[in-house]
Chain A
């Protein structure tokens, strides 16, 4: 069979191009979102550590962290979250572990702050 014109072929080709473009844009967007989500988690975990270090109750710091993550990250849901304080002799340690789940993909951040680390010029940085 011979086509009378190339209109159908152009539609098929442009559909394929649009699909490829959409996939590319969505891929880029997902990548940017994941990078932002990780940075946001790092930053908010750090703020939660500072909150713990101020001797505030862990529940308050936990709620604040949860609120910031849920507000700042529109896609995904909160997974495991653990905040803890421990005294090692004269020194105090604070830990935060947090997971953010986007479908089957999980982003996790673990951070630690301690008075010993602070005094050895190894404060938090990321």
Chain B
């Protein structure tokens, strides 16, 4: 009972810490949106200016339009690399969080540690417009559900000294899941699951 309780506490705590770390990365990613929007507008202007310059066949206008276009694209590439770095960092945080929980649970005689993700990215955001060099990253409509990260493991309920129970299967599956919820981009922790799904009704 104590072992299961400790494992549960570790699980909820680690999942909460992981989501708080992801929250910081998410905030940073969303803060880049105004800049990416303005760069997309500048890129539209640069594209049109270049088209007009090419149509005019004026070499000076073409050179100026091309230089402006290049400057905008370079800024876009720089911003894109920041966005991609933040998304990669979130993936690393998720990977590290899972590894840390596995290490913490190992000492408690816990087995079959598994983690389930609900979205292919560590942050439940989608690029809009997806084909843009610098898209806005917006939280998905069902953000809280998709952002959760669920850990599941088995705890052996037999006390170490109870050798008479050796033949009995007293393992119990336990899981926990934490996500983020937020209104107006103020993210808070949301514990989605912390109770053990029990095989035995009296537990």
A residues contacting B by CB (< 8 A) are 39, 43, 46-47, 50-51, 53-55, 68, 71-72, 90, 92, 115, 118-119, 121, 123-126
Contacts and interface: CB of A to CB of B under 8 A. Distances in A.
Contacts of B12: 50, 53, 118, 123
Nearest to B176: A50
Contacts of A39: 1-2
B194 A126 contact: no
A47 B195 contact: yes
B194 A54 contact: yes
A112 to B, nearest CB: 13
A118 B13 CA distance: 5
Nearest to B202: A71
Given A50-B12, A118-B12, A43 B194 contact: no
Contact of A115 (B6, B189, B195, B196): B189
Nearest to A36: B1
B188 interface: yes
B202 A43 contact: no
A39 B1 CA distance: 9
B8 interface: yes
B190 A50 contact: no
A119 B189 CA distance: 10
A119 B10 CA distance: 11
B5 A119 contact: no
A121 B13 contact: yes
A72 B192 contact: no
A54 B188 contact: no
Q: Top 8 closest A-B pairs, CB basis? A: A50-B194, A123-B9, A123-B13, A53-B191, A118-B16, A124-B9, A115-B189, A50-B195
B20 interface: yes
B193 interface: yes
Contacts of A72: 202
B6 to A, nearest CB: 6
B177 to A, nearest CB: 9
